[in-house]
C-alpha cells in the first residue's frame, strides 16, 4: 500500500464482531485469562491494549520500523529511549534541539551520570570530533527546533557505523512526520515522535512514540516501556489513530501555506531572516530536497527591530494563536526566547542562534492567502 492508504487502513480493521469501520476503544484496565497459561494477547493495559497496539501497528508501518511503542507524552518517549543507556555513556546531540529535550539531557540525565555533547550537527566534522570511546548514541533532530537547520542523516549514520564502538542513531522526526521523512530508510536505529503534533494533528491529545529498526532494540524498548509504565491511554491512542488518517492531505496543506508565508516574509522589509528549508536561500535547501519529500509546515523568522517588534507581531495576528505547540490544523505563533526554549540557558540559546528577534510559526491548514495577509498586516503594524 502507498503511504496515504496505509494511513487510512493500517491498524483499523480490528472488529470482527460488528465490523466497525473504525478501531474500537478498549477502555478496560484488565483482561481476564482463559487459563493459568493463556489469554487473548492482553492482560493489563499498562503492558498492552488493543487500541494502543492498533495505533502502534499503524505508525510502525508508516515509519518502516519493526515495532512501535506509544507513550503518554513526547517527553516520555524521549525518557523511554534514555533508559537504554547507563551512567558513563556519552551521547552527541545538536545544540539547537527542542528546549524540553535539552532540559531533559542537560538538567536531568546528566545527574544520572550520562554525558552529553551539544554540537552544530550541520557540519559532520563536529559530530566526528565529539566522538569518544564512551559514545553510545547520536541524537538527530532534523529539521531542528526552532531554526530549521538540517542534519545529513546518511552522513551521521555512516559516522556511527564506522566508529570503533557500538553507537546507535536516534532521530526525532516530529517536525516532518513520516509523510515527509522516514529516517529508518537511511539506517537510523530509533525514531521518536511527539504524536501530539502532526500525527494527531488536531491539538486535542498529548502523546509520543518510539519506533525501532531492529527486533533487538524493539524488545529492549518494549521492556522498559512496560517497566516504567509509560504507555498512552486507549482513548489517546484512538485519537492519534483517527488523526493519522488525514496525515497526507494535512501535510500538503501545511507545507503549501508555509511556502506561501515564507516567500512573503523573505521580501518583507521588517524581516531580517527567514528559516525555512523550502526557500532556495536556505543553506540546507538541497539537502532537504534529497532526504525529505517536502519542506513541512514549520518556519521561523527574525524581526529586525528585536523583542518589542516581535512581540507586536505576535500579539497583532488574528489567525495565528500565541501558543507553544505545533502540528495542529490551526496556525500557531510563539516566542522561543520565553516559551518553547525558555528551559535552555541564555548562553545555550545564543550559541544555538536563538535570539530575541526569533519568532516560530506552525502553519495550519487555513487558506494560505488569508494567512499571508494576516501575517503581513501584523508586520506592517
| C-beta separation of 213 from 195 below 8 A | no
Quote the pLDDT of residue 335: 96
Residue 156: which of 173, 142, 175 has the closest Cα? 142
Long-range pairs of 218-225 with CB within 8 A, sequence gap ≥ 24: 218/65, 218/66, 218/67, 220/84, 221/67, 221/69, 221/80, 221/81, 221/84, 221/190, 222/67, 222/69, 224/80, 224/83, 224/84, 225/69, 225/71, 225/80
Alpha-carbon torsion, ordered 219, 223, 226, 231, to 10 deg? -40
pLDDT averaged over 10-residue windows placed end to end, the chain, 381 residues: 96 92 95 91 93 98 98 98 98 95 96 97 97 98 96 98 96 98 98 98 98 98 97 98 98 98 98 98 97 98 94 97 97 96 92 95 98 98 89
- Domains of the chain (ranges; CATH) run 3-244 (3.40.640.10), 248-380 (3.90.1150.10)
**Sequence-ordered list of residues with C-beta below 8 angstroms from that of 255, at least 6 positions apart, any chain:** 180, 278, 294, 295, 296, 297, 363
Quote the pLDDT of residue 337: 95
In angstroms, rounded to a whole number, what is the distance separating the alpha carbons of residues 100 and 102? 5
**C-alpha distances in Å from residue 27, one per residue of 52, 214, 235, 314:** 10, 30, 7, 40
Quote the pLDDT of residue 40: 85
**Sequence-ordered list of residues with C-beta below 8 angstroms from that of 128, at least 6 positions apart, any chain:** 159
- The structure's pTM equals 0.96
The packing angle between helices 368-380 and 247-267, to 10°, is: 30
Quote the pLDDT of residue 365: 98
> Catalytic residues, which ones?
46, 98, 172, 197
Amino acid at each position: 500500500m502507498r503511504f496515504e492508504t496505509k494511513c487510512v487502513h493500517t491498524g483499523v480493521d480490528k472488529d470482527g464482531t460488528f465490523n466497525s469501520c473504525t478501531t474500537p476503544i478498549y477502555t478496560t484496565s484488565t483482561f481476564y485469562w482463559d487459563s493459568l497459561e493463556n489469554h487473548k494477547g492482553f492482560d493489563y493495559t499498562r503492558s498492552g491494549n488493543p487500541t494502543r497496539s492498533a495505533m502502534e501497528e499503524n505508525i510502525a508501518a508508516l515509519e518502516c520500523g519493526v515495532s512501535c511503542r506509544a507513550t503518554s507524552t513526547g517527553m516520555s518517549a524521549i525518557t523511554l529511549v534514555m533508559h537504554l543507556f547507563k551512567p558513563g555513556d556519552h551521547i552527541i546531540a545538536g545544540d539547537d534541539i527542542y528546549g524540553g529535550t535539552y532540559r531533559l539531557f542537560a538538567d536531568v540525565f546528566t545527574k544520572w551520570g550520562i554525558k552529553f555533547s551539544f554540537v552544530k550537527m550541520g557540519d559532520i566534522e563536529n559530530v566526528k570530533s565529539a566522538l569518544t570511546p564512551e559514545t553510545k548514541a547520536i541524537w538527530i533532530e532534523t529539521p531542528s527546533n526552532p531554526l530549521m537547520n538540517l542534519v545529513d542523516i546518511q552522513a551521521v549514520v555512516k559516522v556511527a557505523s564506522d566508529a570503533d564502538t557500538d553507537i546507535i542513531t536516534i532521530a526525532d522526526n516530529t517536525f516532518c512526520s513520516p509523510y515527509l521523512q522516514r529516517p529508518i530508510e537511511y539506517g537510523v536505529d530509533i525514531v521518536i515522535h511527539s504524536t501530539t503534533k502532526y500525527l494527531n494533528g488536531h491539538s486535542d491529545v498529548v502523546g509520543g512514540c518510539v519506533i525501532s529498526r531492529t527486533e533487538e532494540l524493539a524488545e529492549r524498548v518494549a521492556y522498559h516501556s512496560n517497566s516504567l509504565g509509560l504507555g498512552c491511554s486507549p482513548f489517546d491512542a484512538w485519537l492519534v489513530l483517527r488523526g493519522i488518517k488525514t496525515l497526507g492531505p494535512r501535510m500538503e496543506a501545511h507545507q503549501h501555506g508555509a511556502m506561501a508565508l515564507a516567500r512573503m516574509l523573505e521580501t518583507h522589509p521588517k524581516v531580517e531572516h527567514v528559516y525555512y528549508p523550502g526557500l532556495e536561500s536556505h543553506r540546507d535547501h538541497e539537502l532537504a530536497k534529497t532526504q525529505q519529500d517536502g519542506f513541512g509546515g514549520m518556519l521561523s523568522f527574525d524581526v529586525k527591530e528585536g523583542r518589542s517588534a516581535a512581540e507586536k507581531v505576535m500579539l497583532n495576528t488574528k489567525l495565528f494563536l500565541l501558543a507553544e505547540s505545533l502540528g495542529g490544523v490551526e496556525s500557531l505563533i510563539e516566542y522561543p526566547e520565553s516559551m518553547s526554549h525558555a528551559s535552555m540557558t541564555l548562553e545555550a540559546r545564543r550559541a544555538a542562534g536563538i535570539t530575541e528577534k526569533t519568532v516560530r510559526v506552525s502553519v495550519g491548514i487555513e487558506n494560505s492567502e488569508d494567512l499571508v495577509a494576516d501575517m503581513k498586516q501584523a508586520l506592517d503594524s
